[in-house]
Amino acid sequence: MENKTFTISVYSENNVGLLNRISGIFLKRHINILSLNVSESEIESVSRFIIVVNTTEKWVQNIVGQIEKQIEVIKAFYHVDEETIFLENALFKIESSLLFDEKQIQNIIKESHSEIVTVARDFFVISKSGQRAEIEALYEKLKPFGIMQFVRSGRISVSKERMQISTLLEELS
């Protein structure tokens, strides 16, 4: 079996220590987590973990099974990239003088469909949402001008198919 990128969605109660136990499942198997995001979900009082890994389908099935054994976990799902719609967000902090002195910077911002979120005396901040490749391309274009700070979020995603989590929760109530 070949390695693929999988997005694992974990719906759980919001309890202390769960993230540590979930990351331990990956650690035991020597599987690196490429991206991790935890947030509220569409269901009140339920959190959603989005975990991105590169492994085989057999391993991801085993991991999802282990995750579901955690008491606080309601349900876990996995998807390949083609089954999801996903984005990442990034912020770039750049020296302010470049915004006015380098016309090319303004073109880069416009062409990359980025936006300036703040301008201060010494710096300005660009925000970019998109696929990882789009963010990396913008990084490479801005790098020669000097990036003061850079941060990228973990993947956020929704499945193309309807997730059965709401139906499952209704049945449990």
Q: Which of 144, 171, 137, 148 is nearest to 92 (CA)?
A: 148
15 — pLDDT class (breaks 50, 70, 90)? confident
What local confidence, expressed as pLDDT, does residue 77 receive? 93
Third-level CATH fold of 4-85+156-172:
Alpha-Beta Plaits (3.30.70)
Read off the pLDDT of residues 113-145 as tens digits, 9 standing for 90 and up: 999 999 999 999 999 999 999 999 999 999 999
Read off the pLDDT of residues 82-115 as tens digits, 9 standing for 90 and up: 999 999 999 999 999 988 888 899 999 999 999 9
**pTM value > 0.85:** no
Superfamily of domain 86-152 in CATH is ACT-like. Chain A, domain 2 (3.30.70.1150)
What local confidence, expressed as pLDDT, does residue 1 receive? 80
